[in-house]
């Protein structure tokens, strides 16, 4: 039994073991394309959806509409830029954007997804059916039919079935996701994406500049004096604030203290009581 037959058998086994409605999360990426094709071949009933993150590469939504007309496009309550203005820039340790822009689509559902262990260290060690233990996910189950597939397996399947990939892949990219995602670990990759799509960079900079002007109590406002470009430089560095900025920070009951290490000057910034 080859990997394609194994995946289809797994899909059918899952479908036959439940009376619940089945879903497929389609990100527009190559792995989602493979999973969707496997689901089509298997002949099971499922509902496909795409969560519009508002920061996916250009033409991703038109690609979905053209090639997956049965896929429902879900719209978030707030765009990525509105979230940045309200909550600040997401980081590896505080990736709140995933919950607001992606993960809400799977709440309470059994969802087929194109997650693979070969993608990253963070995705290794999972089960083929992963029960989501987060309370707000309401018992969601994430199902990974191609979890053990290699990149070579994926591209071989794509070639075999003549699957049209999203326009972003024509830039030489090997992944499709939110432009500038802080979870991307490859050095220089985030800057490369913003070089491809500079309007996204400028839009995020405008959002964080507005956010800092409304939130003088933020640590980032304190560190950058509200300078959006400086904030973006820190964000792209992948470093913590303490690692990037030439200051030490202390939050007291009434203010932030910013101690510039070069001359030991203290600057006070009000914080909410």
Shared-domain flag, residues 145 and 202: no
Q: 129: Cβ–Cβ under 8 A, 6 or more apart, which residues?
A: 14, 141, 142, 143, 144
Q: 192: Cβ–Cβ under 8 A, 6 or more apart, which residues?
A: none
Tokens matching residue 12: 């059918």
Shared-domain flag, residues 55 and 145: yes
Domain count, the chain: 2
Tokens matching residue 80: 């990525």
pLDDT for residue 256: 75
pLDDT at 137 over 70: yes
Shared-domain flag, residues 115 and 205: no
Range of the domain at 14: 3-171
Shared-domain flag, residues 40 and 165: yes
Q: What is the per-residue pLDDT across 56-108, written as a single tens digit (0 to 9) for each?
A: 999 999 999 999 999 999 999 999 999 999 999 999 989 899 999 999 999 99
Shared-domain flag, residues 22 and 156: yes
Q: What is the per-residue pLDDT across 178-235, written as a single tens digit (0 to 9) for each?
A: 999 998 878 889 999 999 999 999 999 999 999 999 999 999 999 999 999 999 999 9
Shared-domain flag, residues 108 and 165: yes
CATH number at residue 100: 3.40.50.620
Which residues in 221-233 are b (16+ Cβ under 10 Å) and which e?
A: bbbbebbbeebbe
Which three-class secondary structure state does DSSP give residue 91? coil
DSSP tag of 186: S
Shared-domain flag, residues 221 and 149: no
**8 Å CB contact between 220 and 235:** no
Specify if 162 maps to a domain.
Answer: yes
pLDDT for residue 140: 97
Tokens matching residue 36: 């969707």
For CA atoms 96, 97, 102, 105, the dihedral sign is positive
Q: What is the per-residue pLDDT across 7-19, written as a single tens digit (0 to 9) for each?
A: 999 999 999 999 9
Integer Cα distance of 213 and 231 in angstroms:
12
pTM: 0.88
Integer Cα distance of 90 and 69 in angstroms:
32
Tokens matching residue 107: 């709440």
Q: DSSP string of 14-73?
A: HHHT--S-EEEE--SSHHHHHHHHHHHHHT---EEEEE--S-SPTTHHHHHHHH-TT-EE
Specify if 103 maps to a domain.
Answer: yes
Specify if 185 maps to a domain.
Answer: no
């Amino acid at each position: 039994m080859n990997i394609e037959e194994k995946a289809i058998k797994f899909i059918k086994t899952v479908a036959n073991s439940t009376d619940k409605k089945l879903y497929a999360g389609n990100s527009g990426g190559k792995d989602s394309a493979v999973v969707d094709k496997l689901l089509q071949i298997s002949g099971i009933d499922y509902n496909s959806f795409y969560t519009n993150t508002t920061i996916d590469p250009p033409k991703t939504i038109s690609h979905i509409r053209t090639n997956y007309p049965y896929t429902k496009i879900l719209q978030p309550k707030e765009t990525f830029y509105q979230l940045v203005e309200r909550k600040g820039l997401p980081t590896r340790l505080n990736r709140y954007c995933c919950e607001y822009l992606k993960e809400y689509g799977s709440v309470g559902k059994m969802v087929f997804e194109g997650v693979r262990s070969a993608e990253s260290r963070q995705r290794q060690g999972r089960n083929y059916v992963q029960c989501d233990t987060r309370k707000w996910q309401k018992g969601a189950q994430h199902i990974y039919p191609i979890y053990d597939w290699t990149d070579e397996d994926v591209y071989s399947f794509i070639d075999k079935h003549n699957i049209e990939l999203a326009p972003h892949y024509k830039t030489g990219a090997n992944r499709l996701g939110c432009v500038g995602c802080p979870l991307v670990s490859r050095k220089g990759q985030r800057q490369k994406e913003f070089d491809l799509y500079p309007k996204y960079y400028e839009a995020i900079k405008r959002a964080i500049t507005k956010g800092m002007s409304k939130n003088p109590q933020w640590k980032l406002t304190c560190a950058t004096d509200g300078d959006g470009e400086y904030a973006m430089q820190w964000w792209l560095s992948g470093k913590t604030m303490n690692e990037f900025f030439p200051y030490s920070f202390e939050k007291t009951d009434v203010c932030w203290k910013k101690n510039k290490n070069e001359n030991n000057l203290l600057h006070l910034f009000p914080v909410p009581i």
